[in-house]
Amino acid sequence: MAHTKAFIFDLDGVIVDTAKYHYLAWLKIANQLGIEFTHEHNELLKGVSRVRSLDIILGLGEVEASQEDKNKWLIQKNEDYLSYLVDMDESEILPGVMPILKYLKEHNQLIALGSASKNARPILEKTGTLPYFDAIVDGNDVSNAKPDPEVFLIAAKLLKKKPEDSIVFEDSVAGIQAANIGGMISVGIGDAKTLHEAKYIFKDFTHIDKSFIDDLIKG
């Protein structure tokens, strides 16, 4: 097949769902500070950096904190989160993801990860998905958070593909906006109302059939 495209995947909420682990780690800190932190509040942190997430939580409790304290909590949050990841395995891969990754590989397509997570590699390793990726761009490689398209533009560059030949799978509004700003084809995974800015939207990967992928490759 002559056509080769760049297929770029976000990690959290797209390939795996580690949102619950992030929530538990943030909840622990919120509890320490006497701040109420519900699943609804947690939605505010979707696609947001660790530093900004902490500020949002402190804002919920109207808690003032020194930079020293903030740094301490950010380290604690990450350590707690990583301790939850220890038990991760392929059962954490979201439904329908593996058949799509396999299909892309069989058709010699290029696959990259474009994620804000600084723990992307260990997560891919634990879930056995690492060999599918030709390039990995994570929180260690970028300075600008989504909706800035930096993470996706770097991924496309590593795959030697133009933005218009790149397809991004995302579950967050900021991620969809980043793909659109970067001039890429955006595919939203999740709620149609929330992700209405995406060019295509699917509830999850089980709703994506091979003919859709074929059309993207040929497109």
Residues labelled catalytic = 10, 12
Q: How far apart are CA 213 and CA 207, in angstroms?
A: 12
Structure tokens at 81: 């989160």
Q: How far apart are CA 28 and CA 43, in angstroms?
A: 17
- CB-CB contact of 112 with 6 (8 Å): yes
Q: How far apart are CA 71 and CA 66, in angstroms?
A: 9
**H or E segment and range at residue 6:** strand 6-9
Structure tokens at 133: 């990726």
The CA-atom distances, in angstroms, between 201 and each of 197, 198, 204 are: 9, 6, 9
Residue type, 182: G
Q: How far apart are CA 47 and CA 157, in angstroms?
A: 22
Say whether the peptide bond before residue 163 is cis (omega within 30 degrees of 0): no
